[in-house]
Structure 1
Amino acid sequence: MEYFKSGLKSVLGTPQEGLQPTGAETVERLVDRVRSSTLLDDRRDACRALKALSRKFRIEVGAQGMDALCQVLEMDRGDCEIVGYALDTLCNITASESFEDEEHPHLSPTSVGSLGEQFTEIFIKQHDNVGLVLGFLEEYDFHVRWPAVRLLTSLLANKPKDIQEIILVSPMGVSKLMDILGDSREVIRNDALLLLIQLTKGNANIQKIVAFENAFDRLFDVISEEGYADGGIVVEDCLLLMLNLLRNNTSNQSFFKEGSYIQRLAPMFNLPPEGDDTGWSAQKVSNVHCMLQVVRTLVMPGNPAQVTMSSQKAMKACGLLEILCGILMASGVPVDILTETINTVAEVIRGNHGNQEYFASVMAPSNPPRPAITVLLMSMVNEKQSFVLRCSVLYCFQCFLFKNEVGQSQLVQTLLPSSTEVANLTTGQLLCGGLFSGDSLSNWFSAVALSHALVENPAQKEQLLRVLLATNVGSPPISLLHQCTMLLQQGSKMQSKLGLLMLLSTWLAHCPQAVKQFLSIPTSIPYLTAQAGSNEHDDSEELVQGICAFLMGICINFNDDTVTTFSKEKLRQIVEKRLGLETFLDKMGEVSKHELYSKAAKHPQLRPKQPSELLLDHEFCRLFRALEGMVVRALSSKPHSDLVNGSSEHSLLASENSLLLQYKELIREQDHKLQELTQTTERLTVEKSTLQREVKDLKSTLSQLRDENMLLRAQANTGLGQTTSGNTLGREAFHMLEEVRAEARRWKEQSEQKDSLICKLEEQVKSGVVSDLDTQLTLKSADQTIASSDIERELQETRQQLAATEEKLAELATANGEIEKMQKDQEDLLELLTDQDTRLNQLKAQLRALGEKVDDDDDDNDEDLEEEAEGCEDENSA
C-alpha cells in the first residue's frame, strides 16, 4: 500500500501539508496529465494510476477520463504498455458487475448495475472506438490482446445489438475475432470463445460469416484437444457456440451437413467400456447434453424438410444413430442424459422410413432379448418412472409412428386375434394395459400413443374395430371401441377423460364405420350431450365439454345414416333443441382458446413442467384445427326444403364463403399475371436504355466520320500530290461506314423484335388480362351483392393495379415511338450512304472516261475521288 501511495505521489506530486485530495480531484489530475503530458513515460504512469483507481472510483474515472483514454488508444497505439493500461481501465469502467471496493454511497444497487451500460453507450457513440479495439486484436502482445478481448465482451454484454451491427460493418471485424481461436494461450482462446458466443446470439448474418470462417473446423479441433465429452468447460463453450451457429439458421445447417461435420459428431458419443468406474461427472453430463442438442438442432421438426431428411440420412450412414441407440440401452446413464437421448433418437427417426425400420430392429440386451420399443413403452406405462422420461418415451413412439404406415399396421396387428401364441409382451398389450390401469397419467400416455397409430391411416381405423377384449367368464367379448366408451363414461379423472376423448376423436374422424359402431352404443350420444351441456367452469372441465361437442360434431359430419336413431338430421335436432346451436359452438370454440391448446399446437414434443399440464396432444390439435370448420358447416346445413323456405342463414353463409374463395382465387391469378407483366415491363425498360446507349454510340461514330470526311476534303484541296494519304484515309472512312451500316442493320432488327414484343404485350394485357377480368367480374356481378366489403376492396385494388400497368404500357408505347423515330433517321442515313456510293461510282466512271487511271485497289476511296473528278473537269473546261 505504501508503494502504491509513493507511486501516486510521484505522478501527482506531493500535496500540501494537511490537505488530502479527494478521489475526484486525484482522477482529475491524472486525466489532465494523460491529456497534456508531452513525455510518453508521464502519460504511461498516469494511465497506470487511472487503472488502479478505476475500480474504486469508477464513476469519476469514466466521467472524466473516457475521452483521454480513447485519445491514448488513438495516438499511442504503438506503445503496448500504455495501450494495455487504457484497455484494462475501460474494462473496469464498462463492467456489468460492481466491485467490492467501489465507492458509490449516493447510488442505489440498480444504478450501480447500469453504470457499465451507460459508459458503454458513451464509448460506442464513436464507432471508430470499437474499430480501434478490434485493431488491437491483431497485436500478439498478451497485455494488449487479452484486455481487448475482455473489453469487447463487456461491451457486448451491455449493448449486444449495437456492438453486433458495428462489428458487422467493420472491415474484417469478424475475421479478426476468429483468428484469436488459434491463439496458443488458453486464457485468450477461452475468453475468445465466450466473446463469440455473445456475438453470434440472434444475428444470422454474423452466424453465417463465422461459419464460413472455418469455425466448425476450429471448434472440432479444440474439442478433440480437450478430450471430447471428458473435457472441461471449454468443450461446453465450443458446443454452445456451435449451437448458436446452427439454431434457426438453415444456411449453416446445410453447410454443416455438406462439410461432412456430422461424421465428426460420432466420436464425441463414445462411452467408456463396461466395467469402467470413472462415472459421469457433472461437466461430462453438461458436455453430452450440449452434444445431443447439436444433433437435435440439425433434425428438429421446425427445419426445412430437405435439410432434415439429408441430415437424418447422414446420421444413419455414419453410424451416429446406432451409437445413440446404444446409449439408450446402456446401463449407468444418468436420467437426464437418457431422457435427452430418447428425444434425440425420436427426431433422428421422425418421418424417415429407413431410420424407423432400423429403430424397430434394435434389441435391448435383456434376457430374453426384447425390442427397444417394447422396453421403452414398459417405462412409459410404469408410474414409478420419472415424469420427464415417460414424456420423452411417448415423443419417441410418436416419431416412430409418424408417416410410418408399416409401424402403425404392426402395432394394430399386435391387438388383433392371432393363431400363434405370443409369449412376450407386445406393444399393443402394453398400451392396453396402460389404457385400463388406475394411473391417470398412464391412461393418457397410452390413449395418445394408440391414437398415433390411426393418424392419416383410415385402413387401420377399420382394422382396430375388429379388436375384441375378454370380459368376465361366460360373458361375450366387447370391442375396444365399446370398452373405451365405457371407460370414458365411468372415469372421474380429467386427464383420463381427455386422453380417451382424443383417441375417440382421431378414431372416428374420416371413418364412417367407426362412427356407426360408436353410435350403436346406446349411452354414447346421451353422455356427450350431457357433457356438452354442462355448466362447469373449471379449465379442465371446459376442455372436456368442448371436445365432447367436437366428437359429437364428428359423428354428424361422418355419419352415413345407417343408425336410424342417430342419423345426421336427428343429431342436429338434438344439438338445436337440447343444447342450442350457439351454446354448442361456444363450447367447441373454448378448446382452441385454451392456453394448453396453443402450447401443444406449436411443437410435436411435449414440454410440460408438471403432470397436470399434460392434457392435449399436438396431433389432436392439428385434427381439431382441420375439422372444426367442417363440423360447423355440418351443423349449419339444413335439408333442401328448408333451404327453399330460406330458413338456413348458415347455408347462405357457406355460399358466401364459397363465392369469396372464388373471388380470392381470381384475384390471386390476376396478381400473378400483374407480377409477370411488371417483370416484362422492367426488362423492356432495361433493353430500351441499352438501345438508347447504342444509338448514342452510333451518332458519335457518325460525327467522327463527318469530321474525317471534312479532313479528306481539306487534303484534296491541296492538290493531287496528296492522293496516297487521301486514299488511305478514304479506305478507313469507307470501312467505318460499312461498320456503321452493319451496326444499323443489327439495330434495326433488334428494334423490329422489340416492336413485335411490345405489340404482343399490349394485345395480351388489353385483350387478354383486362377483358378476362372484366368478363369474369361481369358474369359474377349478380352474385357480388352478397359478398363482403373486403371483396370489393380487393377488386378495386386489382383495377388500380391494372390501371398502373396500362400506364406503364403507355410509357412503353411512347418509348416505342421514339425508337421508330430513331429508326427512320437511321434509314435516311442508310439512303444517304447509298446515294454516296452511287455518286462515287459515277465519279470513277467519269475519271476513266477522261483518261485517268483508276485501279481496282482504289475503289475504297470516297471523298478524295470526288475531288479528283471535279478537278479533272475543271482542267478540261480550261
Structure 2
Amino acid sequence: MFSSISTAPAKQSVSDTISVLSGRLSSATLLEDRRAAILGLRSFAKDFPATVASGALRSLIGSLSNDGEDVDTVKVVLETLLMLFSPNQDSPEASDEIVLWLADEFTQRQDNITLLLDFLEGADFYSRLYSLQLLTAILSARAERTEECVLAAPLGISRLALVTCADIIKGNTTLQESFAQLQVPSPLSQPSSGARDEGGPDRDPEVYVIDGLLDLTLAVSANDMFDVRIAACDCLKAYFFDHAEIRLHFLKRAIEGYKTGLDETANVLAVLLRPNNDDAIVNPYRPWFAAIITFHLLFNNPEAKRLAMAVTEGDAEDGEEIVTSIQSVAAHLLSGLGREQDSRVATGYLILLLGWMFEDLEAVNDFLAEGSNIQGLIQVVVRPGPADEIIQGLCAMILGEIYEFSTKDSPIPRASLHAILLSRLGKEKFIDRLSRLRTNPLMRDFEVLPQKLDPSSPGRLPEVFFDITFVDFFKDNYSRLLRAIDREPGLEIPVSANGVQQGISRDLVDSLRAQLGEKSKALDESHMASTTLERQLGQEQADHRKSRENAAVGLAKVNAAIDAVRRDHAAELDKLRQQLASEQAENARQLKQASQSKEVELEAGRRKLVSVQEDYKRQIEYTKKTSEAELEKLRRKIASLSDDHEKQLSKASKAAEVEVDRLKHRADAEAADLRATISRLEVDLMKTNKTKAQELHTLQEEHAAQLALTQQQSLAKVETQINLANESASKCARLEKELNEAKQDGLKIAANLAEVTDAKQAIQTELDDLLMVFADLEDKVSKYKARLRKIGEEVSDGEDEESEDESEDGQEQSDDDGESEDEAGNGQVTATRKTA
C-alpha cells in the first residue's frame, strides 16, 4: 500500500524541461509566470543552445514585442538571447550553425530588427546595451542581410545619427562653420533603379547638408517620418546655436530666397508668409517646423529681428498696401484660428510672435499698427465652450507681452490698451488662461514626455507642440507677464537693444523739461562762480609759490642738519670702534698674562710635589736598608753563638744541656722579639707611605682648586670686557636708528611738498573742467533759445532782464561765497604750511 508513495518520481530530462518552459512562456497569461519561464530558459541557454532555440526562440522574440514595456522582462529576454549567441565552449550543442540559424531567424522578419532598434531609444541602460550587443552579434553572422534590415526599418538609425550630429556640433564654432560645407545626397530624390540593376554607381544628386536638412524638415509630409524630421530640425538648431554670424547668414539667405521666389518649398519665410492652406491640413507640422526654426533665428537677436521686420509685401509705387512680416504672420494666425485650423499651426505662429516681440518695442508697435489683431486675440481668449488650453494660453501670453512692452506713442496707446484688456478680457480670465497653460501636461511635463511619434497609435499625429527653448522662455517669464496687467499705464518698461535704450518714462520727460530752466539759472551762477574761482586760483597759486619757497628753505636746513648729524654719528662711530678694538686687545693681553702666570704656578707646584715624593722615597729606602742591616747582624750573631755552643757541647755535653736549653729558649725569645720588631717596622713603613700619599693627594687637590679659582676669575674679567663691547655695539645701533629717523623726517618733508604740488594740479584740472562745462551750457542755452524762436516762441527782453537781475543777485551771492571760500582757502594754506 505504501510502496507507491515511497517511490521517487521519474527524473525529467533537459529537453522535457525546456519544452515545458517553452509551453509555459507561450501560454501563460500572467507576466510573472512568463518571466519565471524565461528565467528557467536562461539557465539552460549556455549549455543547451540548440534545444532552447528550437523550442523557445520565437516565443522569446514575441515576448520582446508583447512585454516590451516591462524593463525587467526585456532585460532577461535579451540576456537569454545573448547567451544563445555565445554558448559555453564545452557544450555538446555549441556550433557555428546555431549562430547562423539564430541570425537568420532575426533577419527573416523585418519587425525583429525594428524591435531591437526601438530598444536603442529607450531610457533603460541595460535594454539599450543588450540590444546593441545583440545587433552586433547578428551583424557578425549575417552582415549583408542585417544591413538591409537596418536600412529598411522605419527611420532606421537616421534619427539617432542626426541627433548625434546635433550634439557634436552644438556650441562648437569650428564644427558649425565646417558642417555647412558638407554635401549629402538629396533626401527627396529617388536613386536610379537602372543604375542599381546594372551595378553602376549611385548618381543621386548631392546638395549641401543644410539644404538637405531643410528639405527633410519642411518638404517631407509622411507621418512616419516625423522622428527624422524633428531630428533634422534639432540638427539645424544646433548648427546656428550661439553663433550670431551663422544665424544672420541663414536668415539673409532665407530673405533672399523669399524675395526672389526660388525654391519656396524649403524656405522658412515662404512657408510662414505664403502658406498653403490645403497643405497645412495634410502636413500641419510644416509651418510648425518653419516657425520653430525662425523662432531660434530671432530669439534674443536684435539684429536678426531688424532684418526680419524689413521684409514686406506689396509695392507702394503701384498703389499697393505695404504689409510687414509681423502683420502677415498675425494675419495668417488669426485666419487659421478663424477656420479652426490644426492647433499645431497656430501654436507655431504664436511661439514665433512671442519670441519676436519680446523686449522689442518696434515689433510691438508694428503688431499694434493693425488694430484688429488685438480684437482677434481677445476673442480667442474669451471664446466660450470647450477650447484649446494651449491656444488660449498662448494668446493671453501675447496680449500680456504686448502690453508689457507698449508705450504711450504706440499705435494703440498704452493707457487705451490697458483699458481694452481690463474691459474685454479681465484680470481673472487673463490669469486663468496663463495658469491653465502652465499646468497643461504638454507644458508642465515637457522634459519627461517623449517628443516623438507614438508607435502605438499609427496614423495619428504626435503630441508635439513646444520646443525646449520656448518652454524655458515661458517658465522664465511666466511671473513677469502674469503681473504685467497690474502695472500702471504711465510706467513704461525701458528696453535696451544693441546698447541703445528704448522706451522712456513720461514722468522723466516732464522732469527733464523742469530741469532745463534750472540748468539755465545754474549756467549764470556758474559764470559768477568761475570768476570767483579764478580769483581763488590766483591766490592759491601765490600761496603755493610762497609755501614751496618756504618748503625749499626748510628742506635745505633739514638736509644740512642731517649731514651734520651724519658726520657726528660717523665720527662717534669710528671712535667707538677704536675704543672697542683697544679694549678687545687689552682683554686678550690680560687673558694671556693670566694664563702664563697660572702655568708658572702650576709648574712650580708640580716640581715641589716631585721633590716631596723623592724625599719620601729616600726616607723609605733608608729605613728599609737599616732594618735589613740590623736583621743581618742578628743573623750573624745567632750563627756565631750557635758555633760556640756546639764547641762547648762537644766538651761538656751533659753539663751544657741545661745551659743549651736555656740559651735556646733565650735565642728563641730574642728571635721572636726581632720578628716583632721587624713587623712593627713594616707597619710603621706602611703608615708612613699612607700618610705621605694622603698629603700628596691633598696638595694636588689644593693646587687644582687654586687653578680653578684662577680660571674663574679670568673668565669673569673676560665676560666683563665682552659686556662692555656689547654696550658699545648697542650704542652704535641706537645712533644708527636716530640717523634713520632723521632720514624719514626728510622724506616726510619731501612728501608734503609733493602733496602741495598735486593739490595745485588738481585745482587747475577742476578749473579747466568747469570752464568746459560752462562753455557747453552756454551752447545749450543758445540752442534752446534758437529752437524756441524757430517754433515761434518769443523770448522777451523782460525775461532777459530778469535773467540778468538773477545773474547779478547770483553774482553778489557768489562774491560772498567767494570771500568765504578765500578765507577757507587761506586757512587751508596756513594749515599746509604748519604741516610742512
Q: TM-score when scaled to structure 2? A: 0.42
Asked which structure has the greater RCO (Cα within 8 Å, sep 6+), the reply is 2
Higher radius of gyration, 1 or 2: 2
